[in-house]
């Protein structure tokens, strides 16, 4: 599974009783028009922890159908082990191209247990797997290297921001399996930390901003790839830095602001589910201003 370019992490629109498939279709089609390198459905930005198994199936089925093979579709699978196994199996049945192994959340075990958790998902599905280290899932260099020796484990997405640990992990994995293994920056608002991650040779990242300002996200990616430091700095200062400051005001805003941004851009995708909460009026107005600033920075 070869991934490149901006990685699209769509939100999950809800309606009473489940996923709003029509709204998700519109959201995906709009994003695909900006040429992402992959679609990661029912993952963190897609509120994976809030999805029932049937809702996970609706989201994955819709993403596979809308993309039509144009780009890889990677589905989230995680949380309680039986649920993670069910998600992994149904993602394969529905035609997804890969799995993002979400953290087991509250349960925190030793490295042996974390590796066993991944092994269960590898046995449950034929799909290639990307590990996601964040929260209760932090892989030691030794564990990451051992898992990477399984040919079905093709990548690791880092959401810890611990560059010392990540550097040791990348060295260990590349020493074990070579340079084809894919590493991702998976921090919230990942663009803001990409200059640091590129110092470790990591060029892939998840872009939640792509879900609501694909114009800004694609311009930033192009500038970063081309070495256009002036544009990178301009977009960081006018859009990403103030977005990070707003995001850090309230727990859960890493997702809530994205969904609010999609609504502000004219797509009716509903609210976030508890325990997340939608931004209040003041923060929503500030987000609207940031969207205008970001679009103006791209234009100018």
Answer yes or no: 259 catalytic.
no
Helix (DSSP H) and strand (DSSP E) numbers for the chain: 12, 10
CA distance 55 to 61: 10
Q: Are 213 and 243 in contact (CB under 8 A)?
A: no
Taking the C-alpha atoms of 108, 109, 112 and 116 in order, what is their torsion angle to the nearest 10 degrees?
-60
CA distance 36 to 205: 12
Answer yes or no: 132 catalytic.
yes
Three-state secondary structure string covering 205-244? EEECHHHCCHHHHHHHHHHHHHCCHHHHHHHHHHHHHHHH
Cα within 13 Å of Cα(30), Cβ side: 21
**Residue from 105, 117, 132, 285 carrying the catalytic annotation:** 132
Cα within 13 Å of Cα(52), Cβ side: 6
**Residue from 117, 157, 205, 253 carrying the catalytic annotation:** 157
Spatial neighbors of 32 by CB under 8 A, at least 6 apart, are 8, 39, 66, 67, 70, 71
CA distance 75 to 60: 7
Structure tokens at 1: 């599974």
Q: How far is CA 240 from CA 33, 119, 209, 211, in A?
A: 22, 37, 9, 14
Interhelix angle for 53-67 vs 21-32, to 10°? 40
Spatial neighbors of 194 by CB under 8 A, at least 6 apart, are 185, 205, 224
Catalytic machinery residues: 132, 157
């Amino acid at each position: 599974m070869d991934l490149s370019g901006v990685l699209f992490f769509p939100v999950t629109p809800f309606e009473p009783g489940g996923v709003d498939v029509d709204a998700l279709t519109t959201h995906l089609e709009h994003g695909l028009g900006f040429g992402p390198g992959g679609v990661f459905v029912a993952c963190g930005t897609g509120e994976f922890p809030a999805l029932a198994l049937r809702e996970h199936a609706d989201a994955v089925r819709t993403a596979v159908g809308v993309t039509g093979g144009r780009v890889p579709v990677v589905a989230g699978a995680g949380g309680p082990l039986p649920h993670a196994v069910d998600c992994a199996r149904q993602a394969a049945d529905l035609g997804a191209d890969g799995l993002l192994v979400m953290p087991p959340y509250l349960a925190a075990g030793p490295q042996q247990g974390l590796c066993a958790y991944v092994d269960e998902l590898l046995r449950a599905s034929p799909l290639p797997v990307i590990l996601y280290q964040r929260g209760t899932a932090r892989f030691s260099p030794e564990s990451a290297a051992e898992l990477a020796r399984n040919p079905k484990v093709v990548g690791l997405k880092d959401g810890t921001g611990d560059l010392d640990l990540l550097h040791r992990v990348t060295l260990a994995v590349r020493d074990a399996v070579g340079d084809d293994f894919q590493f991702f920056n998976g921090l919230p608002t990942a663009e803001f930390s990409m200059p640091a991650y590129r110092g470790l040779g990591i060029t892939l990242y998840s872009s939640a901003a792509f879900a609501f300002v694909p114009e800004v996200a694609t311009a930033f990616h192009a500038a970063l790839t081309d070495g256009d430091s002036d544009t990178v700095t301009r977009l960081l200062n006018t859009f990403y830095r103030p977005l990070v400051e707003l995001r850090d005001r309230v727990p859960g805003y890493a997702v809530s602001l994205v969904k609010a941004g999609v609504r502000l851009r004219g797509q009716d995708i509903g609210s976030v589910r508890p325990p997340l909460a939608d931004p209040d009026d003041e923060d929503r107005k500030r987000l609207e201003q940031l969207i205008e600033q970001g679009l103006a920075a791209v234009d100018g």
